[in-house]
Chain A
Amino acid sequence: MTVYMRCLLSLFSLLAAALLLSACAKKLTFQGSDISDSQIGQNFTLQDQHGKPRQLSDFQGKVVVLFFGYTSCPDVCPTTLAELRTSMQQLGDAAKEVQVLFVSVDPERDTPQLLAQYVPAFNPSFIGLTGSKAQIDETVKAFRAVYQKQGNGPHYTVDHTAGTYLIDRNGQTRVLVNYGAGAAVFTHDIRQLLEQ
């Protein structure tokens, strides 16, 4: 074997090793907070805006975007839903593989009928979920989120976790996007999960 050939061979093996390494170590980088190791967000059972029972596992194979809110929310909820609407437009065809879930933390007022007037207005594919207080509490706890009713009488408001959770196609919660991050952050991180 000539020196030239030996050189070529080692070059090839180096190249092959580099290729192999890059294939294995394809690490996802998110613009939101990576919470892949936190084990949060187990399965839940709630009702959608048509009164149909829904579980997280129903959406396996899709990237799920989950957000807690309520329809009488003046600020955070419409802002986040509007950002997600823009993000779906940015994703184009890929948006078909994404499911946005709006989980109500106001089961007293947010009936399925009310959710039906509100959530799909942002994007017809978005699903609003509600349930009994016990079902909501369990879901909120599973995502280590919080909510707190403020004020008495009919005109109360609800303080709640303002971040949005991104769940991968296998049902694992991966990213927490802070309130106000903007549509581009959603689009970037959702793409990462879609391409995974």
Chain B
Amino acid sequence: MLKAAFAGAALLCATTLSYAHGFTVGDLTIQHPWARATAPAAKNAGAFMLIKTTKDDQLVKVDSDIAEKTELHEMKMADGVMKMSPIASLPVTVAAPAKLAPGGYHVMLLGLKRPLVAGEKFPLKLTFAKGGVVEVQVKVEDMTYQPKDDAHSGH
């Protein structure tokens, strides 16, 4: 009995922890949406996250009130030059989660209305073709933050 209670408590803790900074709506799970803190007068910022799904879907739109324009962007290296361009949609499949990380895809916040301050959070709306709208809270990390599992490990 006592054992079961402990197990239950442990499970509860684990659940709370894993969802401390993740959002699950329907088939979609958005893990650790984050952005870097910006210099007070900087105009743009990128937001990153990992999107998993149990049913193939597509991210088709991103919105936020913190910037004048919010777009989905792709980074590509061409002859040593990092080129950034808007994309219309991003596939999210059961086999391949959508990884928004430095060096790859990101949510581009253009014309920030206020600086991003480390420790704060701001809402971001993600619209999926099938899953509908998912609102997440983007956590602002330090300006110098480096994700542990970043895009570099991929190449």
Contact = CB atoms under 8 A, between A and B. Distances in A.
A76 B150 CA distance: 12
A180 B80 CA distance: 11
B75 A81 contact: no
Contact of B41 (A83, A85, A114, A182): A114
Nearest to B43: A72
A73 B108 CA distance: 10
B39 A118 contact: yes
Nearest to A180: B152
Range of interface residues on A (Cβ < 8 Å): 35 or more
A156 B97 CA distance: 29
Given A82-B145, A159-B83, A180-B151, A117 B44 contact: no
Nearest to A109: B43
Contact of B110 (A73, A113, A121, A155): A155
Interface string B121-155: 00000000000000000000001111000111001
B77 A162 contact: yes
B120 interface: no
Interface residues of B, number: 35
B146 A154 contact: no
A82 B106 contact: no
Contacts of A72: 42-45
B115 to A, nearest CB: 9
B111 A161 contact: no
- Chain A interface mostly helix, strand, loop or mixed? mixed
Q: Which of A178, A180, A182 has the most CB of B within 10 A?
A: A180
A37 interface: no
Main secondary structure of the interface of B (DSSP, over half): strand
B46 interface: yes
B27 interface: no
A148 B103 CA distance: 18
A117 B40 contact: yes
Contact of A180 (B36, B40, B73, B103): B103
Nearest to A157: B84
A154 B111 contact: yes
Contacts of B42: 71-72, 114, 117-118
Given A74-B44, A162-B80, A114 B146 contact: no
Contact of B152 (A73, A148, A160, A182): A182
Interface in A28-84: 71-76, 78-79, 81-83
Interface string A162-196: 11000000000000101110100000000000000
B81 interface: yes
A74 B152 contact: no
Contacts of A118: 39, 42, 143
A155 B143 contact: no
Contacts of B151: 180
B143 A78 contact: yes
8 contacts: A71-B42, A74-B84, A78-B144, A79-B150, A82-B146, A157-B84, A162-B80, A162-B82
Given A74-B73, A157-B108, A163-B80, 12 more contacts: A75-B84, A75-B103, A82-B145, A109-B43, A122-B143, A155-B44, A157-B84, A159-B81, A160-B81, A179-B77, A180-B103, A180-B155
